[in-house]
């Protein structure tokens, strides 16, 4: 089966030398890509330029590096002409990008700044954060026949709340499953599916096996 895996964080530039990003090493997505390749699947790994985790993804397999959220979206979309069977969207996509930047706003005299490198001489800055486009909401339009798996990493709340958010993601984005994890979920992972209860995976090995079983089961 032809699978796309995204891994690692996107970033959004403040200026030419500073950026906004997420805490993500890209390890989980990279290891999932390596696992799928070891199981005989054809894998396209889209990996963040900021990914720090070393991956054992085969060097002779296709890997593309991405930067911003829009860059990742373009690279995923470019693969939509291929007969993709599954998309695992594990990348830590930035929810916000920078809009306008002002100096002097705290003193009541805001001046918009546009500079290749904003100087600290400007003092305190006021930055506008604008929501980025949700890539996962576009996947069904790009891959109408593929199995789509999203991620829901949450810090606040409890396991039941994260599972509920995963179910909402599936409903709103027309995906097939969602991996729930993070401090709110607790140890392990939850494979949330639209038509069944959440399947708990105690570790990454169990999660990878559950995901591979899921796409094989739904392919038949």
Q: Is 50 in the same domain as 158?
A: yes
- If one counts every other C-beta atom within 10 angstroms of the C-beta of residue 100, the result is 12
Q: What is the mean pLDDT of each run of 10 residues along the chain (220 residues)?
A: 96 94 93 94 94 73 91 97 96 95 83 89 90 96 97 96 95 97 97 88 97 82
Q: Is 156 in the same domain as 204?
A: yes
Number of domains comprising the chain: 2
Q: Is 108 in the same domain as 164?
A: no
Burial of 159 (0-12, 13-18, 19+ CB in 10 A): middle
Q: Is 123 in the same domain as 152?
A: no
Q: Is 91 in the same domain as 104?
A: no
Q: Is 208 in the same domain as 138?
A: yes
Q: Is 196 in the same domain as 150?
A: yes
CATH of the domain at 184: 3.40.50.10300
Burial of 24 (0-12, 13-18, 19+ CB in 10 A): buried
pLDDT value of position 219: 58
What does the alpha-carbon distance between residue 89 and residue 7 come to, in Å, rounded to a whole number?
7
Q: Is 119 in the same domain as 28?
A: no
Going from the C-alpha of 189 to that of each of 12, 33, 54, 174, 185, the distances in angstroms are: 28, 17, 22, 21, 7
Q: Is 109 in the same domain as 87?
A: no
Domain range spanning residue 32?
A: 2-95+132-219
pLDDT value of position 47: 94
pLDDT value of position 121: 84
Cα angle 64-67-71, degrees, rounded to a multiple of 5: 80
pLDDT value of position 180: 97
């Amino acid at each position: 089966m032809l699978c796309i895996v995204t891994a690692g964080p996107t970033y959004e530039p403040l200026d030419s030398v500073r950026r906004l990003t997420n805490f993500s090493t890209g390890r989980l997505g990279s290891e999932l890509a390596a696992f799928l390749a070891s199981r005989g699947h054809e894998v396209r790994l889209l990996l963040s330029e900021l990914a720090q985790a070393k991956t054992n993804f085969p060097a002779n397999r296709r890997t593309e590096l991405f930067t911003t959220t829009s860059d990742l979206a373009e690279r995923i979309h470019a693969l939509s002409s291929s007969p993709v069977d599954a998309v695992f969207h594990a990348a830590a996509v930035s929810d916000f990008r920078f809009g306008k930047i002002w100096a002097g706003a705290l003193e009541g005299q805001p001046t918009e700044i546009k500079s290749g490198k904003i100087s600290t001489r400007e003092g305190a800055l006021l930055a506008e954060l604008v929501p980025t486009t949700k890539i996962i909401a576009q996947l069904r339009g790009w891959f109408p026949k593929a199995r789509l798996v999203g991620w829901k990493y949450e810090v606040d709340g409890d396991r039941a709340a994260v599972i509920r958010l995963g179910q909402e993601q599936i409903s709103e984005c027309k995906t097939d499953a969602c991996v729930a994890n993070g401090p709110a979920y607790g140890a392990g992972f939850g494979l949330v599916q639209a038509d069944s209860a959440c399947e708990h995976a105690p570790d990454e090995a169990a999660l990878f096996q559950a995901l591979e079983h899921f796409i094989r089961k739904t392919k038949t």
